[in-house]
Amino acid sequence: MFTDIVIMAGGSGTRLWPASSSRKPKQFLSLPGGSSFFQAALERAFACLSGTDGSVVVVAGAAHLDRVARACAAYPASDRERVALIGEKVARNTAPAIACAATYLLRTKGKGRRALVVTSDHIIGPLASFVTDARAADALAAEGKLVVFGIPPAGPETGFGYVETAAALPSADAAGRAFSLASFREKPDRATAERFLASGKFYWNSGMFGFSVDFLMEEFERNSPETLAPFAALAAPRPQDYERRDGVAVLSSWTGLDQAYAAVKGISFDYAIAEKCASAAVIAASFDWTDIGCWDDYARAKEAGPKEQAEASAASGAAREPAAREPVAPVFSSNASRCFVDSDLPVALCGVEDLIVVVRSGADGSPGSVLVCRKGESQRVKEIVEAAKAAGRSDLL
């Protein structure tokens, strides 16, 4: 199994504004069952590393490290001791974040490591299937391949990137689901997406990758040396560069890290490395995967109820502290139907239907905000976000 798991926990997640903002990105919102997206990602990481001495590296915005550490505090000391947090003073997209994490692993763990990069803002389950697929990806990574999880498409989705598969590859844990990778494709138009589905060779790009760290460093040097260079210049962190927050190691003063982020240009891992890699493979996922891209998606997930969390804790084999739940305000209704409410203030609904109502009171010190939209129209939140920026109200975001 992979020796290390890298959790990508950056981003602002304004598609779920006003609950999600630069102060509290989507990955810290609650899932059905009470834990957050980020804590579910931790569960997956710990389950993949069960029975090993592997580590978990979390790359997050520097302003969110306290929130990350508090989320980790719900887990036993044996799990918290696996975790190291790295803070980004400025966001530079996924390629610099992965280059940073890979450099950290190389400097602290040495050569011969294999890492799986996982997202922290998706709903994934069942956990046992994810672990099985991770094992299959690890076997291919050990053969010198960059491995991506491909999601079997549920329809001709135009909002996701795709991966095209070629020849089948032998796999003990993913028989019939392991393929060499032919190409990455950008988000298609509807007609192109329909052709992708008809071919049977295309999967949604999950954004989760497995690799040998040594192999990946060579890929960076070959295909995106300007991204790797600022991080490759970093020496190994010293013991005094860490501090403990809620029992978790936070790399608070890695000499040169802030300068590396200031120097590097923002670029996605797909553009910098994955699309250029000559040795890549796809595992067609056996797990369910949902990208919560708008309030309609979030409402459906919440209304469906908990699916992953109970079996996640059981499968990881360790007792967990109860996850901290966000306060739930009462909702009163009269002649209202099919409405979804996410609020920290009491809400009353009268004579309405098919609404999404999101209220944040500002009790955490942020400006209070209210969103009201009809179900099926929540993609328009991005227009509200742009309008707030244009009005000089980025403080709301």
What are the tens digits of pLDDT across the range 328-368?
Answer: 789 999 999 999 999 999 999 999 999 999 999 998 888 89
- Confidence category of residue 171, pLDDT binned at 50, 70, 90: very high
Q: Tokens at residue 388, please?
A: 């707030």
Run of H or E residues at 98? helix 94-109
pLDDT digits (tens, 9 = 90+) for 124-166: 999 999 999 999 999 999 999 999 999 999 999 999 999 999 9
Asked whether residue 313 carries a pLDDT value surpassing 70, the answer given is no
Confidence of residue 325 (pLDDT cuts 50, 70, 90): low
Higher-scoring residue by pLDDT: 359, 22: 359
pLDDT in tens, 29-84: 988 777 899 999 999 999 999 999 999 999 999 999 999 999 999 999 999 999 99
For residue 336, CA distances in Å to 133, 251, 340, 351, 352 come to: 44, 50, 11, 5, 5
Instruction: Write down the pLDDT at residue 319.
Output: 42
Token readout for 37 is 């997206």
Checking if the pLDDT of 324 tops 80, the result is no
* CB-based burial label for 86 (10 Å; 0-12, 13-18, 19+): buried
Q: Following CA atoms 131, 55, 262, 121 in sequence, which dihedral angle do they give, to the nearest 10 degrees?
A: 30
Domain locations along the chain: 4-316, 331-396
Residue 309 predicted with pLDDT over 50: no
Nearest to 61 by CA among 31, 24, 29, 34: 24
Q: At 294, is the pLDDT very low, low, confident or very high (cuts 50, 70, 90)?
A: very high
pLDDT category at 306 given cuts 50, 70, 90 is low
Give the tens place of pLDDT for each residue, 245-270: 999 999 999 999 999 999 999 999 99
- Which CATH number among 3.40.50.720, 3.30.1490.70, 3.90.550.10, 3.40.630.10 corresponds to the domain 4-316? 3.90.550.10
pTM, two decimals, is 0.93
Average pLDDT, the chain: 92
pLDDT score of 326: 58
pLDDT tops 50 at residue 312? no
Q: Specify the pLDDT at position 302.
A: 87
pLDDT mean over 81-99: 96
Contacts of 330 (CB under 8 A, 6+ apart): 346, 347
Strand order in the sheet with 340-343: 340-343, 355-360, 369-374
> If we measure between CA atoms, which residue out of 242, 266, 239 comes closest to residue 100?
266
Question: What local confidence, expressed as pLDDT, does residue 366 receive?
Answer: 84
